[in-house]
Amino acid sequence: MKSEILFRIVADLILITHIFFVAFIILGLLLIIIGGFFGWSQVRNPWFRLLHLAAIAYVVLQSWFGKMCPLTILEMNMRERAGDAVYPGSFIAHWLNELLYYRAPAWLFIVSYTAFGALVVIAWFRIHPRPFSVHVKC
């Protein structure tokens, strides 16, 4: 009984982490575009931009190779161990279906992820991040 509760809590924490990851990717691009338009220097932070680019690159490559997100796999494993029902498919596909009642073939998600990734790359070149700097103190 106690272990089921623990697995359920861990699964919920993984789900929350997954939501924040998706929000970082989507809202990050929106902030970059809006910040670029208004001249916000924060959106040119090279570490933020590199992390953002790496995050969407990971999602795109994962979709190209037909791999399910490790966060989805881990969450489903925890839910199964807690005795909860699990959902089939990817995190995004499941929640789009739940929230929007949207059904689409896997290739459409791959194209969408790739197009979004392309927008992030375009933003990288159109709204340049500041150069990385190394501060050496002697």
User: How many structural domains compose the chain?
Assistant: 1
Q: Which tops the pLDDT comparison, 93 or 20?
A: 20
Rounded mean pLDDT, 62-91: 83
- 41 located within any domain: yes
User: Helices 2-38 & 46-64, crossing angle to 10 degrees?
Assistant: 120
> Domain residues for 76?
2-126
Q: Would you say the C-alpha torsion 64, 70, 73, 79 has a positive or negative sign?
A: negative
- 57 located within any domain: yes
- 135 located within any domain: no
pLDDT at position 101 is: 45
- 75 located within any domain: yes
- 131 located within any domain: no
Measured in whole angstroms, the distance separating CA 5 from the mean position of its chain's CA atoms is 27
- 83 located within any domain: yes
Of 1, 8, 48, residue with least CA distance to 25: 48
Q: How far apart are alpha carbons 138 and 134 in whole angstroms?
A: 13
- 19 located within any domain: yes
- 136 located within any domain: no
Mean pLDDT of the chain: 86
**Residue position matching structure tokens 């190394």:** 134
pLDDT at position 68 is: 87
